[in-house]
Every structure is written in C-alpha cells, then in structure tokens.
Structure 1
Amino acid sequence: MFSVSLDLPEFEVVKQVFLEDCNLLHVEKNTTEERCSYCGFFTSHVHDWRTRKVRDLSVLGKPLFLFVKVYRYRCHNCNEVFSQTFESISPNKHQTNRYREYLYEMCIGSTIQEVSRKEKIPYTTVERIFYSVAKQKEKEHLETLESVLENHE
C-alpha cells in the first residue's frame, strides 16, 4: 500500500485517504502532555478536542490536507483551559508553516493572483499569508542585524 512520508516529526499519521483530486491525512501530536499557556505547569488532562483542517505542501501533484486532532487541556494548577500547540502549525492557522513559506516564495517570483489560481486558494488568503510571512521575515532580519551589531560593540 502507498504511504505518504509527512516529514513533520511531531505528528503521527492515524489514517490516510487518497482521493482523485487530493490527499487526506488524519494526524495527532506524538506527545500527550502540554505546558499550560497560563501558568507553565505540565498537564495531560484532556478537556475536549476538535479537528482542524490544515493545508500542507502538495504530494504527487495533489493538494495535501491534514486533519489535525487538536486537544484542549485543563490545567490542574490554575484550572484554565488551553489548546495544544504545534511547532509546524501556528495557532489558529489553517496552513502548515512550510506551506505558508512556500506560498510566500511563489509570490516572490510571480504575482499573488497567479499563485491564488495555481493553488486554488482565495486571493485574499494568499495576500494575507504573503504579508504575514514578509512581516515575520523582516522581524527576523532586524533581530539578526541587532545581534550582529551587539557583537561588534
């Protein structure tokens, strides 16, 4: 049977579905414990969970969608409820970080409109991703420059 290598080590593939026009992977995070975003304590007490549909890089010329099981935890220390975090997916985003980066790079050598058509994503979504990634890259560049300047003083 054919299998997709996800190359996102934080996830375990639970189920794979290959359709004519796209590929679907149901995934869960490998760890069962999260650090509370309010007080910093670790907890494994699952409050509930939801499934988030996330677009990733295409595989074999077909869009790849991840159905990510996102657990919400209740902290035993402060009693707050918080969502699981991921290295490869920013909070509240519906694209992996690498797919967002890929769209940004495509826009550099093309136009937002062309990328929107090619990837079959709304223009406004591609535009929002492009400027969001550009802003992050600018921030990282400025931090690097500041670090270099501090080391030369």
Structure 2
Amino acid sequence: MQKITQQEMILSSLQEAKKLEKGLISKIKTSKGAVVDSSIRALLERVEIMSKNHNKDIEKAEKELNIPSVVKKNVSQDSLDILQDILKNLVNLQAFYNETVVNIPNPYVRQLFTQMRDDVMRFISLLQIEIEALESRPSIPNNKVLKRPGMS
C-alpha cells in the first residue's frame, strides 16, 4: 500500500492553506465594495492583510523546506494527490449542503440542495474507491538518488 510521506503531506497542506488564504483574499476584495460602514471595511482590510501575511509565510516555508525537490514524483502519486484534494473539497461541499438544507425554508431550494448533496455524496464514494485502488498499487521507484548529508 502506497503511503503519503511526511514531505508530501506537508506540501499538500501548505498548498491547501495557500489556496484557502487566496480564496479569502478574493472574497474580501469582492465584498469590500458592498460595505458602507467604515469600521467594518477597516476590519475586512485587517483580515485581508493578515491573509496576505499568511501567504507570505507559507511561501517562505515552502522555500525554506524545499519540499518539492524531495517529494517523489510519479504519475500515481500525482493522481492520488489530485483525488485527495478534490475529495476534501467535495466533503466540504457536502457539509455546506447539509447545513444549508436544514436552514432553508423554501422547499424548492431545499430540494435542489438535497439533490446537489446527494450528487456530491456519490462522487465522494467514487473518489474514495479510486483512492483506495491507487493506494494499493505498487509505487514506481523514485529514480532520483538523494545524497546523504556529510558526516562531521
């Protein structure tokens, strides 16, 4: 069974954090124009600055750790990473639809979101099956040889 290394887990987590932070920045930029209250606008600007600083910190960590050069790159692992990222997004989407269905009084919208949630659940199951299949395949040996650090 192919396992994800610590470096791969760290790289994936840093990439996901960067994506979420950029999404937050984008949301704030599109929302600031609709806010009239100056104190709320100032709060949004502070959150935006925080998020931009987080992105800088993430980029700094990626450079310092130099993880991409250490992470093994083979087709099945790349596919596995992609499927796992999409699976996370689908699980978040399913949670959103579950929460929203409970709070929406309109029967049409509730039925629409229920159907969407069910669709998402089907794809979650399909992705989980595919991930399981990829994890159980033998991995391709990494052809890159890493030098051992010098002993003093």
TM-score, shorter chain, exceeding 0.5: no
Higher relative contact order (CA 8 A, sep 6+): 2
Higher relative helix content:
2
Higher relative strand content:
1
